[in-house]
Amino acid sequence: MQVVVKPVLNAIRILEILGREEGLGVTQISQLLELPKSSVHDILTTLYNEGLVEKDCDRNHYSLGLKLFELGNMARANLELRRIATPFLRSLNEELDETVHLTILDGWEVLYIECFESAKQLRTYSVIGVRAPLHCTAVGKAILAFFTETQVSEMISAMGLPRFTENTITDRQRLDAELAEICRCGYAVDNAEHEDGVRCVGAPIHNHEAQVVASISVSGPSQRMIPEKDEEVGSLLISKTTEISRRLGYRKV
Provide the CATH number for the domain around residue 102: 3.30.450.40
Whether residue 199 lies inside any domain: the answer is yes
Number of domains in the chain: 2
Task: Compute the average pLDDT of residues 92-121.
Answer: 93
pLDDT of amino acid 145: 97
Are 60 and 75 in the same domain?
A: no
Are 217 and 182 in the same domain?
A: yes
CA 210/CA 248 separation, integer angstroms: 10
Whether residue 252 lies inside any domain: the answer is no
Give residue-wise pLDDT tens across range 128-147: 889 999 999 999 999 999 99
Look at 20-24, 183-187, 212-216 and tell me which has the smallest mean pLDDT: 20-24
Whether residue 136 lies inside any domain: the answer is yes
pTM for this entry: 0.75
Give residue-wise pLDDT tens across range 112-132: 999 999 988 888 877 888 999
Are 129 and 205 in the same domain?
A: yes
Are 12 and 45 in the same domain?
A: yes
Show the domain range for 60: 6-64
